[in-house]
Structure 1
Amino acid sequence: MALPLAQVIDRIRKSTAETRDLQSGAMDVDASGTEARLEQTVRELQARVNEQQAALEQLRRSSQLTVQQAAYASDDPREKLKQLRAVKEAYTNLTLTAPFLPSRDSLLPALIAARTLQQNVHGTKQAITSTEAHIASAAALLRNEEAHLHDANLMQKALRDRTVRLEAQIEHRSRKAPAQLAKELIAAKRAQKKGYDDEAQRLGDALNDFVDNYLSAMLAAEELGGPVVGDMLNVENETLAAGFTKKGKAKAAKKPVSEKTRQRRIDRIWGNKADIEEEEDPLTEAEAADAEMRELIGILFSTLIGSGGGRAYHQLERDSAASRFLVRAKIAQFHPRDAQKLRLIDFGRELDD
């Protein structure tokens, strides 16, 4: 039975800690004659090296073969046979020769054992690090697969529920007459249309409130040479009446502007946007901008749903702050080759159309 992942990791960490403690712990070694024993071991090894070097020199002097000839097989079959016989004789002689062993007091076995132990510890540490990395990667992969499985189960449940509902609807409709089904479909379409009309009315009222309470004054300020819509949020009627400087700053009103001068300026910029009765007050700058925005939106909407199928453009009479705002807000777009033509962006149309 496979152990849990957490238990496996705990065992690996415990083994690592025990190995680290054994490595760092002090060895029980009699250090009284360690230096002398090391010197004796070095002398034994040096004597063995000298003995081997002397034997190698004697072999070189007695042999007529070069190092190249001894290292590689000859192309001559007879010479190659001699080489093989020599190798066989050498192995036979070495088999009968007793292997070299250090003396009883030599530290060479302890040094070799310590080196082997250090290599094993180093290899174990690397293996532990690699194993932990593999375990972490496997755990992350497992979590990802579990999340995918959870999503697949949810999708399967949703499809199963959807199938059950559709089968119930089909069975329910199969029990009704075609006339009854037609009446229910007509009633559903009428209810859907009423919902769309109510939502359109709600959105239209919200748009009118936004234009009337916030946008109209900012549009009027931009038309009068002030900051663009959004740079000055609270624009008062007194500020619009006083006007703006060439740098777009509000003028300081030293004295009230006459209504005749103000009305001439409104007519010059916006024209007659509404019929004013004699008893009504004249339009302000914000009201004129409000009327222009409402008129422009209405015209653009009529152009969108007209015979052009959303491709027709409206010819603008002038470059207004209202048209520029609609373009900046990504609600409308200019014609690619004529900035005097504008249309609403049809968000229901295909993107590549």
Structure 2
Amino acid sequence: MAQQQDNALSNIRAYVNEARELQHGAMGFDASNIEARLEDTVKELQARVREQQDALEKLRSGSNANIADSAYPSNDPRQKLQQLLAIKAAYTSLKPTPTYLPSPGSVLPALLAARSLQQTVLGTKQAILSTQSQLHDAERALHREESQLHDATLLTRAMESRISRLRAQHTERSQKSPAQLARDLIASKRAQKDAYDTKMQELGTAMNDFINDYLAAMLAAEELGGPVVGDMLDVQDSVLAAGFTKKGKAKASTKPPSDKSRQKRIDQIWGRSATAGIEEDEDDEQPPTEAEAADAEMRKLIENLFATLVGPGGGKAYFLLERESAAARFLVRAKVAQFHGKDAKKLRLIDFGRELDD
């Protein structure tokens, strides 16, 4: 077994050496006299061209036939027969003629091979570019089709799941009496109402915390001539007490204003009705701050807007504002409410269950 393997390896090595020698022998190319060989090849080709030209001139001079007319078959049957016989005689005379081949030292075969290789390489490069472009387009189309297939699969699964649930509900309902169905429907509506009430309480608590912790102070700052809600996020009570300049900047006051002057300013802006409830709830008879007045106004405005929304007019009824306040402007900017198209003192909440007015 080992001897057979050694023989096989020796045969492989011998074949490789022989193939390498044949390759080197076939590709051997003497470039020392390349210019002389090129000149000889050119001269040989020129001589061949002159020979062909001389033969053509000799043929033209020895024949009275019109070459232009002889290039096309004649309408005369006899003349056409003569043309065919001439063509047959030409082929018969050319058949034993040996094919012209360049001399052994000519570089014409190498030049022809180089030109053929160059054309092949250029054609291959163009084919590669075209194939790459087609491949890119095919990949994009494939991705698009895969995305559409994925969407269609998801829709199919959702529809099948929906159909299965409807069939199960239909089967379940068909086995129940009308009284049982009515009880189930009432229980479902009650559970839905309880879920809505719980969610409304959570949202109401979150809204109250937002108004009390953040929004009230910013609304008060806008009412006092300061920046619009959102431009100054952290508004301190001392800033509200000092007030703002005509340019909307906070005043730098070292002496805080008296409670009497602050209460007078609050009454002028928000009125006694906006702060009456606050004063009643306070145990220490401290006057309300600007933020508390803005907080009370915002809550009262939201309460009135909700009452108008669920009132007789429904979503088309407007609440008549006593004045255009920062709270009303904030609700409009937040796209929670909208002014009347012709009267800026009328405001209503946007009913998100209906289309918006133009």
Is 1:291 matched with 2:288?
A: no
Q: State the AA in 2 paired with 1:185.
A: L
Residue in 1 aligned with 2:247?
247
Q: Which has the larger radius of gyration?
A: 2
| Deviation sequence 1:126-169 (CA, Å, 0-9, x none) | 33443344445445544544454444444434433333332222
Q: State the AA in 2 paired with 1:338.
A: D
Residue in 2 aligned with 1:118?
118
Q: What is the rounded CA distance, in whole Å, between the counterparts of 2:271 and 2:89 in structure 1?
A: 121
Is 1:89 matched with 2:86?
A: yes
Q: Evaluate the alpha carbon distance shift between residue 147 and residue 61 of structure 1 in structure 2; reply closer, same or farther with a 3 A threshold.
A: same
Q: What is the rounded CA distance, in whole Å, between the counterparts of 1:189 and 1:70 in structure 2?
A: 103
Q: Is the 8 A contact 1:316 1:342 kept in 2?
A: yes
Q: Evaluate the alpha carbon distance shift between residue 246 and residue 92 of structure 1 in structure 2; reply closer, same or farther with a 3 A threshold.
A: farther
Residue in 2 aligned with 1:321?
326
Alpha-carbon shift at residue 56 of structure 1 (Å): 5.0
Alpha-carbon shift at residue 244 of structure 1 (Å): 0.9
| Deviation sequence 1:185-231 (CA, Å, 0-9, x none) | 11110111111112112111211111111111111111111111111
Q: Evaluate the alpha carbon distance shift between residue 35 and residue 318 of structure 1 in structure 2; reply closer, same or farther with a 3 A threshold.
A: same
Residue in 2 aligned with 1:47?
47
Residue in 2 aligned with 1:300?
305
Q: Is the 8 A contact 2:70 2:83 kept in 1?
A: no
Which aligned pairs between 1:1-353 and structure 2 lie closer than 5 A?
27-56=27-56, 89=86, 92-93=89-90, 96-97=93-94, 98=97, 99-272=99-272, 273-275=274-276, 276-277=279-280, 280-350=285-355
Q: Evaluate the alpha carbon distance shift between residue 65 and residue 226 of structure 1 in structure 2; reply closer, same or farther with a 3 A threshold.
A: farther
Q: Evaluate the alpha carbon distance shift between residue 87 and residue 333 of structure 1 in structure 2; reply closer, same or farther with a 3 A threshold.
A: farther
Q: What is the rounded CA distance, in whole Å, between the counterparts of 1:340 and 1:107 in structure 2?
A: 101
Identity among equivalent positions (%) equals 60
Residue in 2 aligned with 1:13?
none
Which stretch has the larger CA shift, 38-47 or 298-307? 298-307
Q: What is the rounded CA distance, in whole Å, between the counterparts of 1:341 and 1:91 in structure 2?
A: 108
Identify unmatched segments of 5+ residues in structure 2: 1-25
Query: TM-score, normalised to structure 1's length?
Result: 0.79
Alpha-carbon shift at residue 324 of structure 1 (Å): 1.3
Give aligned pairs, total.
Answer: 325
Q: Is the 8 A contact 1:73 1:83 kept in 2?
A: no
Q: What is the rounded CA distance, in whole Å, between the counterparts of 1:95 and 1:308 in structure 2?
A: 111
SS of 1:44's partner is: helix
The one of the two structures with greater contact order (alpha-carbon pairs below 8 A, sep at least 6) is 1
Q: What is the rounded CA distance, in whole Å, between the counterparts of 1:39 and 1:204 in structure 2?
A: 102
Q: State the AA in 1 paired with 2:348.
A: R
Residue in 2 aligned with 1:9?
none
